Amino acid sequence: MECSWAKLSIYRISNYLKDGDKKAYVPQVVSLGPYHHGDERLRPMEQHKLRCLHQILARSHQEIGLYLDSVKEVEQRARACYEGTISISSDEFVQMMLLDGCFVIELLRGYDRGFGKLGYPRNDPIFSRWGSMLKTRIMRDMILLENQIPVFILNLLLGLQLGLADLELHAGRLVLNFFQSEIGGWLELDPSPNQLHCLKVLWRSLLPRDLEQKKTPEWAHNREQLIPCLTVLREARIKLRGEYGSILGDIRFMAKDGILKIPYLVIHEGTRSLFLNLIAFEQSQFDCGNHITSYVIFMHSLMKSPEDVRYLCDHEIIEHCLGNDAEVADLFNRLCRELAFNISGSYLSALSYDLENYRLFRSIPNDPDSCVAFIKLIYLFCVRSLAASSLAHKWRGWGAILKNKYFDNPWSIISIIAAFVLLVLTSAQTFYAVYGYYWPRS
């Protein structure tokens, strides 16, 4: 059955992405959903899925028919979440959703409440704290784009267990609690019901709530935007400060104090797979933007060399458990390799704009001759900007353009004033030169 593009949310990874590192996108321990269902490498975990289902039925005193019938009712909705034709019979698909969904829910609840309270012994190889040796590997498989279960299936199965109908956001909360240690930063649940799957829940929790307010005004898109490297920031005397307990993507620049606040990031062996799958999700999902992509590229711009990595570690912005600092720099370099990106549509575009303005402001020279040259450069920039806007806007919008484009922040106002002063002085100089030529002093 062909999927509906409007409901599609769980995608197959494009071949051009897999060519870079296939292992980062393929499950190593457990299959979830139809894409890797039946893989011989992952078959050992199937017995634990069955154990999990039997434990749930025994604990809730319910019949398996209740679960099968409930999942059967939403089968077509679940199939529509997956890309392409799913060549699995109806009965097999329903059983797969039930087993995979119960496995995920049991893990989430166990790490939230404790596996002992769910009836598992302390030495259980999967459902226990002792089984946490597999937790990292299972957790890694649970954030793969091709290895997802729709969140509404998780909420349905959780509601059946607890005898509750309205659990729209409950699975999302359990997901974030489960992944908290993996990310190493603060995760905040998105209150909207559009959660889709575990990876989408995690994706949204890494981004600040005020994404719309962080976007650069439309008028600023005419100028080229670049993410500055660490060397440029340090030359502009911008101080970098790590922020504990902040959402990962909530990077803020305090222009008044010249401080760039960057949330604390823990880098480990699973970081590459996590970011690659988040980036793949952004490139597949039509309405989610490129926010994690821009975050990764921003961090890459700060870590061009092992020395940069050491600087960020010393300032408690990142922490890593890789072999050495060079491996961290190489990791982000490989993450961004052949990555198509336009910062102008990113939530970090405003940050890039503010950093560049601050850098230009701090580079203003003190001696008079250099100041004149600097003001001339500002004047030329304003002239070019005016020329560009005249081609793009109608006469009727000039008043709004002047207000939004040239007077919405202090740096633009300073540029306009400097250009105006330079124009007045140049006009006066020209006037007296002409006047002196035609009417020389006697």
List pLDDT tens digits, range 375-408.
555 555 555 555 444 444 444 444 555 555 555 5
- Give the per-residue pLDDT at 276: 93
Mean pLDDT, the chain, integer: 80
- Give the per-residue pLDDT at 260: 92
Which residue, 280, 248, 278, is CA-closest to 262?
Answer: 248
Q: Can you point out the beta strands (E) in 365-405? A: none
Name the pLDDT band for 438 (thresholds 50, 70, 90).
very low
- Give the per-residue pLDDT at 406: 57
Give me the mean pLDDT over the 177-191 stretch.
69
| pLDDT > 90? residue 185 | no
Give me the mean pLDDT over the 238-250 stretch.
83
The span from the CA of 47 to the CA of 69, in Å, is: 22
The span from the CA of 440 to the CA of 356, in Å, is: 48
Single pTM value for the model: 0.78
344 or 71, which is more confident? Answer: 71
Give me the mean pLDDT over the 239-257 stretch.
84
Q: For residues 301 and 230, is the Cβ–Cβ distance under 8 A?
A: yes
Name the percent of the chain lying above pLDDT 70: 72
- Give the per-residue pLDDT at 407: 56
Query: How do the residues of the chain divide into helix, strand and coil, expressed in percent and rounded to 5?
Result: 60, 5, 35
What is the sign, positive or negative, of the torsion defined by CA atoms of 407, 408, 413, 415?
A: negative
Q: What is the pLDDT of residues 205-237, one digit of tens each?
A: 888 766 655 555 554 555 555 677 888 888 888
| pLDDT > 80? residue 204 | yes
Name the percent of the chain lying above pLDDT 90: 36
- Give the per-residue pLDDT at 59: 93
222 or 311, which is more confident? Answer: 311
- Give the per-residue pLDDT at 395: 42
Which of 103-112, 124-133, 374-383 shows the lowest per-residue confidence on average (mean pLDDT)? Answer: 374-383
| pLDDT > 50? residue 119 | yes
Where are the chain's structural domains?
A: 15-196, 211-351, 364-438
Q: For residues 185 and 263, is the Cβ–Cβ distance under 8 A?
A: yes
Give me the mean pLDDT over the 23-31 stretch.
94
- Give the per-residue pLDDT at 399: 52
Cα→Cα distances 159→5, 169, 287, Å: 28, 11, 29
Name the pLDDT band for 12 (thresholds 50, 70, 90).
very high
Which of 33-37, 262-266, 295-299, 394-398 shows the lowest per-residue confidence on average (mean pLDDT)? Answer: 394-398
Q: For residues 306 and 329, is the Cβ–Cβ distance under 8 A?
A: yes
The CA-CA-CA angle for residues 229, 16, 291, to 5°, reads 40
Which of 75-89, 145-159, 264-278, 357-371 shows the lowest per-residue confidence on average (mean pLDDT)? Answer: 357-371
Which residue, 394, 358, 417, is CA-closest to 237?
Answer: 358
CA dihedral 415, 419, 421, 427 (to 10 degrees): 180
Task: Dig out the tokens for 232 from the structure.
Answer: 């440029």
249 or 432, which is more confident? Answer: 249
| pLDDT > 70? residue 269 | yes
